Structure 1
Amino acid sequence: MQFKHAPAAVSAVFDDPNIVSSAGLVPMLRLAQHAGLARLAQDRLSVPTDKGANAGAKVMALVAGMLAGADSIDDMNLLRHGGMGRLFHRTYAPSTLGSFLREFRFGHVRQLDAVASRVLGNLAVDTPLLQLRDGERVMVDLDDTIIEVHGYQKQGASFGYSGVRGLNALIATASTTSSAPVILAQRLRQGKTGSPKGAARIVGDALATLRRTGVAAGTRPLLRADSAFYGYATIGTAITAGADVSVTVRMDLAVKAAIATIPDDAWTMIEYTDSIRDETTGQLISKAEVAEVPFTAFRSRRKAERIEGRLVVRRIPDLSPRQVEQPTLFDTFRHHAFFTTTDLETMDTVAADKTHRGHAIIEQVHADLKAGPPAHLPSGVFTANSAWLVLAVIAFNLTRAAGIIADRSGRLARATTATIRRTLVHVPARLARSARRITLHLPEAWPWQNAFNRLFTITHAPPPAAIA
């Protein structure tokens, strides 16, 4: 692409009051309104009146800014340009929104958690956020991540397990084989907090939110997590809430003793990194094998708290440099084991291992989320940043629902937040008013015109007629 005109023939003037840069906020905020975001925030948030007045409108403004790409309080000025005031009421100044967030206390953050849970439940009523095939179950993944921060005024910031100075965000997601993940629950914690702290509570919240969506009715969700969350509090909470678990275990003496009882002929090759299939025999040639053995978790606890299940073990050759130079007489292996309560009849050893490895999908959610609003936690006040994370999760789930509505069978249904923002939100428009109606004049030949039209039409459809 080359420039068409000489430099002197082009000028730039910021003088049009009828231009908006993010016309996609119109259907996005309609979607948020249908999900009850403003009403729920207004009814449930008890932020002090002097700063918390019109809490519903301020929450909507914060989420709108995040949908448009804001990752700091100053970026909320995105809502105050051109014709935005003709499209939306109460486009608050960034200073007003910042003062609102700084009034939050822990109880207010928990109230906002409840709002986020119910908004997701309402979104799931009309949008197939989680599609289940026959015999499939919802995967609930739990993991934490460090959000890097800068400056010395951030409450709770410290060096955690990653060696990065930041705050710790614990996230629980839900996904299926045919649906991209949505976030069920979230919690911001101090940077040096251990991974399992508070995990039991967030597991309970996540499974309660999943039940609210109605997606997993009649099935048992599967909670997947790494070894940091292998503890009775987390696993016991999941089982009590009606879920199965698939959690990596630490290689303690009990686990090693159980692995030692597996006979040599019980190992099965699996499709793993660099595995191939023999063209003649059709057998899989792989360096990884799996086997399982019955296992009782938490034997040191009282009998009622012991949990029966399966210990699924994956082994791969231990090819350290020393062994390559001087091979050992017997093969040695590295073992990776996880504990699961799934039924062998519905999920055999190979399927259980493959399903457990799918837990890595939550890393994609972490990357997607941290590339958006949490990229710069905006306040020095810890509870304000906690509220900011919850609002970012609401915006994340809204973009996921919008992508499905706009392009259910296409790539937008599983696209990242940045892609949905680029294609559906950052659509420039010129406003024209006639006969008390506003028309958005959008760019001709916009590549994602059909998807935008579908989202706009569905979110602006009249409510269903009341049945007498």
Structure 2
Amino acid sequence: SARGAASMIAEAITTARSCGASGEIVVRADSAFYTKTVITTCWRRDVRFSVTTRIDAKIRTACDSISDDQWLDIKYPRAVFDEDQQRWISDAQIAETVYTAFAGTRHAVTARLIVRRIRRDDPTQIPGQEELVPTYRYHAVFTDSPFTLVQAESQHRGPAIIEQVNADLIAGPLAHLPSRRFSANDAWLTCAAIAHNLTRTAGHLAAGPQAGARPATIRTRIINVAARIAHRARTIHLHLPEHWPWQTAFDNLFTAVQATPG
């Protein structure tokens, strides 16, 4: 919620400057904070803003007005998870245009509208019969950032990596904290972070699709596995399911873990 956001931002800016921050300050906010008061507060405090916008009719018209030769291909150093399409995105295009927010009011602000677009995939499309007019999903950022297009877009997207980690933790061990005692919850948080890092490491060692999968997917595919333990000739045998689709991933992980350091 954007309620009280203006005073919170003003306090954060004052705190940052009192701690010695003397460089360019850019307030990065999600679409819930795309409001007149937030942007006005940034201007009054002499800081820059970078705010995600909702894709309404006016924003979509501005996005569609960008010509094809203005789009710049980018490749993410780390894939970004797309919640709508439920998949990892590693390639996209970015461009920018000039946009006036809150037009027709005394709070009208003209600044940069940085747009990232991702092509929509059609799972029913037959190879060799591509669509004549491709469709895209847009992600727009309203900003007065002084940085270049690539820098400004990357800086705004940076917190999304942390947000994804938080989402993964909340979907797992941090769905709730087990105790009313701070020390117990502190220990739980430490264990949750260790488990998250180990799960992500397991995904990378398993390779293939698991390298970019979310922790919940990794747990389902190669950790929470139904198996039968058998003892034979003083050795332990683990019988895994036949025709298991994630056998290769599990073998990769097992081989990597059992490898002798050297």
Q: TM-score range, shorter-chain basis?
A: 0.5 to 0.7
The reply on whether 1:328 has 2:131 as its aligned counterpart is yes
Inter-partner Cα distance in structure 2 for 1:257 and 1:227:
18
| Post-superposition CA distance 1:65-93 (Å, at most 9, x none) | xxxxxxxxxxxxxxxxxxxxxxxxxxxxx
Paired positions, count: 174
Among 338, 354, 358, the residue aligned to 2:158 = 358
> Which amino acid in 2 is paired with 1:197?
R
- Partner residue of 1:267? 71
CA RMSD of aligned residues (A): 3.5
Q: What is the alpha-carbon distance in structure 1 between the residues aligned to residue 38 and residue 3 of structure 2?
A: 10
Q: CA 1:361 to 1:272, structure 2 compared with 1: closer, same or farther past 3 Å?
A: closer
Give CA-to-partner distance per residue, 1:286-341, whole Å, 9 cap, x none: 74111000111111321xx2222100011111003344687422221111111111
Are 1:220 and 1:242, in contact at CA under 8 Å, matched by a contact in 2? Answer: no
Quickly say closer, same or farther: Cα 1:330–1:287, change in 2 above 3 A: farther
CA distance in 1, matches of 2:96, 2:126: 29
Measure the CA separation in 2 of the matches of 1:225 and 1:260. Answer: 24
| CA 206–332 in structure 1, closer or farther in 2 if over 3 Å, else same | same
Match of 1:208 among 14, 23, 32: 14
Structure 1 residues 365 and 263: alpha-carbon distance in aligned structure 2, compared to 1, 3 A threshold: closer
- Say whether 1:239 aligns with 2:31: no
In 2: Cα distance, 1:323 partner to 1:313 partner: 26
The Cα shift of 1:362 comes to 5.0
Structure 1 or 2: more strand by fraction: 2
Aligned residue number for residue 337 of structure 1: 140
Q: Select the structure of larger CA radius of gyration.
A: 1
Residue 28 of structure 2 is matched in structure 1 by: 224
Unaligned runs of 5+ in 2: 80-89, 195-262
Q: Residue 299 of structure 1 aligns to a residue in which SS?
A: coil
CA pair 362-206 structure 1, distance change in 2 beyond 3 A: farther
Structure 1: which 4+ aligned runs deviate by more than 6 Å? 369-372
Question: Who is 1:27 aligned against?
Answer: none
Tell me how far 1:378 sits from its aligned partner: 4.5
SS at match of 1:309: strand
Q: Secondary structure at the match of 1:257?
A: helix
Q: Distance in 2 between matches of 1:358 and 1:299?
A: 29
In structure 2, do the counterparts of structure 1 residues 212 and 377 end up closer, same or farther at CA, with 3 Å as the change threshold?
A: farther
Alignment of 1:173-322 (within 5 A): 195-215=1-21, 217=22, 219-272=23-76, 287-302=91-106, 305-322=107-124
- Structural mapping, 1:362-401, within 5 Å: 363=163, 375=177, 378=180
State the 1:418 CA deviation.
3.6
Counterparts of 1:324 and 1:251 in 2: how far apart (Å)? 30
Work out which structure has the larger RCO, using CA pairs closer than 8 Å and 6 or more positions apart in sequence: 1
**Cα separation, 2, equivalents of 1:264 and 1:229:** 30
Cα offset for 1:361? Answer: 5.3
How far apart are residue 260 of structure 1 and its match?
1.9
Identity of aligned residues (%): 38
Secondary structure in structure 2 of the residue aligned to 1:292: strand
Residues 20-71 of structure 1 deviation map (CA, whole Å, 9 limit, x = unaligned): xxxxxxxxxxxxxxxxxxxxxxxxxxxxxxxxxxxxxxxxxxxxxxxxxxxx
Q: Deviations over 1:194-243 (max 9, x none)?
A: x212222211111111122112x2x2311111111111112221221121
1:357-383 Cα shifts (integer Å, max 9, x gaps): 11225538968x9989x936859xxxx
- Aligned AA for 1:258? A
Taking the aligned partners of 1:226 and 1:366, their CA distance within structure 2 comes to 15
The secondary structure found in structure 1 opposite 2:156 is helix
Amino acid at match of 2:101: A
1:348 pairs with 2:148: yes
Question: Structure 1 CA distance, aligned partners of 2:114 and 2:144?
Answer: 10
2:244 aligned residue: none
Residues 204 and 287 (structure 1), Cα distance of their counterparts in 2 relative to 1, 3 Å cut = same
> How far does the alpha carbon of each residue in 1:2-22 deviate from its partner, in whole angstroms, 9 at most, with x for none?
xxxxxxxxxxxxxxxxxxxxx
How far off its partner does 1:272 sit?
Answer: 2.2
Look up the SS of the partner of 2:75 in the other structure: coil
